[in-house]
Amino acid sequence: MTSLAWRGQLGAVALGAGLLVLAIGTSVESALIAAFRPSGFELKWVADVVVAAAVAGGAYLSLRLGAARGQVVDLERDRIAVDEQLRLAAEIQRQLLPAVPTEALNCRWCAQMVPAQEIGGDFYDFLALSNDTVLVMLGDVSGKGIPAALLQSALKTLFRVHAAATTDPAALAARMSAGLREETGGVPYATAILARFERAPARMTFANAGHPAGFLVRDAEPIALESTGMPLGLWPDAKYQAISVDLYPGDLGVFVTDGVTEALEGGTLSIRDALRQSVRSGLAEPADLCAYLLRIAGEGPGPPGAGDWHDDRTSLAFRVLRPR
């Protein structure tokens, strides 16, 4: 409700309260006259007392309603300030997301995100180490809002700092987990997929830190890239396994957050079924696949029994091209 509407309502309340005081005073005056039958002088005295009481009551109500109106104006001003701060924070968060190239390392790429609130906990990063090596990360911080946004910013910093020392996804995940655990004590935590892509031979090496499975679609059949360790920051001295997968022209890969997988849980179409259906329908480009997955997730019912469920939805996809 706008400040102007609130003021209008308070004004109406003040007018009604004043009329009520006068009506009560008039009723009291009539009752006194009927009970005691005062003389003319006494009648004037009763009338003066009633009027004075009505004026005093009206003044008191006016002061109280004026104070309430001031509080409403202050609350409205504070709400506008908070909304503006959230809007600026969301804009900064979007600007901090890396520019994912359309094509790099004999692959086409795309990443898309739809936050559930103005500020989300999903994140991704794309780091080209050389013409022959790329590091990719997609993750999800537990929780939502500003605390999740602050933590995902810290994780991206950890990712880039430790990537300068190692490109092994398992070692990178372990270092990030230790750094996060040191800061948070295990709560909150994060899930993530970290992957290294190499040009020759074409290969992807990944570590999955408690994240929903990624998929590599080959010959229209999705191959799951399952978890190889626990979420980042959840447990001290966490260890991870890295798995290498050879890549071939035409392979289509996708990483998603649980806002996509959980959105489909209450329906009839799983993420694996959705990928089969998309490829058979001719959605072979990463941008088309990301858009398709985010759209059906937005239409999905969410986890059974979750009620009015909303979560950030993020997808990062790639397609392997023929060497040039």
Residue 128 pLDDT grade (very low, low, confident, very high; cuts 50, 70, 90): very high
**What is the structure's pLDDT at 37?**
55
3-state secondary structure of 157: helix
CA 308 and chain centroid, separation: 14
* pLDDT tens-digit series, residues 63-106: 777 777 777 777 777 777 566 655 666 666 666 689 999 999 99
| Tokens, residue 113 | 């995100």
Average pLDDT, rounded, for the chain: 83
**What is the structure's pLDDT at 320?**
97
Per-domain boundaries in the chain: 3-92, 97-320
Alpha-carbon separation of residue 5 from 72, 81, 111, 178, 248 (angstroms): 11, 19, 43, 53, 63
Q: Cα–Cα distance between 211 and 240 in angstroms, integer?
A: 12
Q: Residue 18 above 50 pLDDT?
A: no
* pLDDT tens-digit series, residues 217-251: 999 999 999 999 999 999 999 999 999 999 999 99
Residue 11 pLDDT grade (very low, low, confident, very high; cuts 50, 70, 90): very low
Task: Name the strands in the sheet holding 313-320, side by side, starting at the edge strand that comes first in the sequence.
Answer: 103-104, 107-114, 313-320, 252-256, 214-218, 221-225
| Tokens, residue 58 | 């009206």
**What is the structure's pLDDT at 17?**
45
- What value does the mean pLDDT take over residues 119-126? 90
Fold of 97-320: Phosphatase 2c; domain 1 (3.60.40)
Q: Residue 49 above 60 pLDDT?
A: no
Q: Residue 194 above 70 pLDDT?
A: yes
- What value does the mean pLDDT take over residues 27-46? 52
